[in-house]
Chain A
Amino acid sequence: MTRRPHDLEEWILRARQVDAWPSMPARARVWSAIERRIAVGPPPVSIGHVHVGTTIGASKLMLVLAIVTSIGAPLLGGLAAVATIGVEEEGGATTPAAVVARRDPPPARTAESMIATSPVVHDDGPIEVFDDGPADPEVEIFVEPDAVRTSRTVRRGSGAPSSDLAIETRILRGARARLRTGAVDDATALLAEHRQRFPRGMLVELRAALEIDAQCRLGRSASARALASAFERTYPSSPYRVRATDCDPDEGGAR
């Protein structure tokens, strides 16, 4: 006969045993949503001479591969299979990622409209694009099965990029892509919008790194160096390798 625990120690012991773990369907559902929301494992961002992000050293890669090996291929295969559930191919055709057409032109150059309507070629992971209109239950996003981008239609659901983090990610990816293609003014506008909307966001460190590069590409070497100096003070152990000591806009930004 089970009885109710009485003291804290007993509560703790019981809690360790009874607290819920996610069911397999729930795990698969979340994985599927994550797959739709993000580019899996975007590479370190290299913008000209700026290296934003860190590379994985050989030892760390081995660590990760060891983890992969320990779990086994069947599980990965199952996850990959599950990840495709609920994605409808539009006409069965694959098309290169380019532009998502909106029914109505956006009224202002907000971060989301800039990201959604500009035909920027970016190779560091797809940017999810969605229509904010409440009456449209279907949205266009880009998914990247391997090396080929495919335009597909998925239904808006719990996996829709509705969270602040998803918006932050989208804005900063847009800024990064524009820096890479030389659209520095657009990138700066996106960074400013991120600063305004998410002054204490989860990705402020990345924003700060991108701002340094933007300043450098605008030819504002002194400003870039000052920002870089502040960055190093604020984020002494930052993984983003940002230095503006060799800031040369003609060479593609800060080094």
Chain B
Amino acid sequence: MGEAQAHAADAGMIRRAQFADIYATYCPYVWRCVRRMGTAPEQVEDVVQDVFLVISERIHAFEGRASLKTWIYAITFRVAAEHRRKRHRNERSKVLAWDPSAPVSADEEVLARQLADRLHALLDTLDMDQRAVFVLAELEQLSGPEIAEILGIKLNTVYSRLRLARRRMDRELATGGGRSSP
């Protein structure tokens, strides 16, 4: 193997390790965000694949102006939002239906699953803009400036959308809403 080929092979290994490690580190966060952005459970894997395809394509463009995490969140939200726009008009997952009158199991595992399902049903009551801000602020606990950078919006808009989202969620909780149509 010539020197140039050896260098190319080394570079290939570095790239492979780099991408594999990004996947290992950020897959859980991407996965959770994709789900919280309204992707149906059975479609999450496909959307996560798409997110990492974009990351693979664009990793060379990452310039470190934002943190890697912020950069990945931004890609995740764009891909998830695009996916949801395409799918949402056709179907809404019945799994997410929230029936406030349904009995709550005392079993911790079952209860956790029920709460997660109901959380997603509540999130479904928000539009995509408010949902994105709410998920990043309240669930991922990112700062306002970070969210503004991820979503490409002004800081004031972040706070405005968050306020509206919280108001909407409060109202849904008070009225027992958030029920998806079967």
Complex Cα spacing A26 to B116, Å: 18
* Chain B residues numbered 46-93 whose CB sits less than 8 Å from any CB in chain A: 46, 48-50, 52-54, 56-64, 68, 78-79, 82
- With an 8 A cutoff between CB atoms, is B22 at the interface? yes
Contact of B57 among A3, A33, A76, A169 (CB under 8 A): A169
Q: Are A64 and B18 in contact (CB under 8 A)?
A: yes
Set of chain B residues within 8 Å of A231, measured between Cβ atoms: none
Stretch at the interface among A12-20, A133-141, A189-197, A211-219: A12-20
Complex Cα spacing A159 to B12, Å: 22
Task: Count A-side interface residues using an 8 Å CB cutoff.
Answer: 64
Set of chain A residues within 8 Å of B139, measured between Cβ atoms: 12, 15-16, 19
Mark contacts of B30-41 with chain A using CB atoms, 8 A cut-off: 1 yes-contact digit, 0 otherwise.
Answer: 011001100000
Q: Are B63 and A54 in contact (CB under 8 A)?
A: yes
Set of chain B residues within 8 Å of A30, measured between Cβ atoms: 27, 45, 48-49, 52
Q: Given the interface contacts A11-B122, A41-B59, does A34 sit within 8 Å of B54 by beta carbon? A: no
Complex Cα spacing A5 to B122, Å: 13
Query: How many residue pairs at the A-B interface have CB separations less than 8 Å?
Result: 176
Closest to A26 in B: B45
Set of chain B residues within 8 Å of A54, measured between Cβ atoms: 60-61, 63
Q: Across the A-B interface, give the 8 residue pairs with the lowest CB-CB distance, nearest first.
A: A41-B15, A239-B61, A18-B112, A22-B31, A68-B21, A15-B119, A40-B16, A53-B60
Show the binding face of B for A, using Cβ within 8 Å: 5, 8-9, 11-25, 27-28, 31-32, 35-36, 44-46, 48-50, 52-54, 56-64, 68, 78-79, 82, 104, 106, 108, 111-113, 115-116, 119, 122, 138-139, 141, 166, 169-170, 173
Show the binding face of A for B, using Cβ within 8 Å: 1-8, 11-12, 14-22, 26-27, 29-31, 33-34, 37-44, 53-56, 59-61, 63-65, 67-68, 71, 75-76, 79-80, 146-147, 158-159, 163, 165-166, 169, 202-203, 206, 239-240
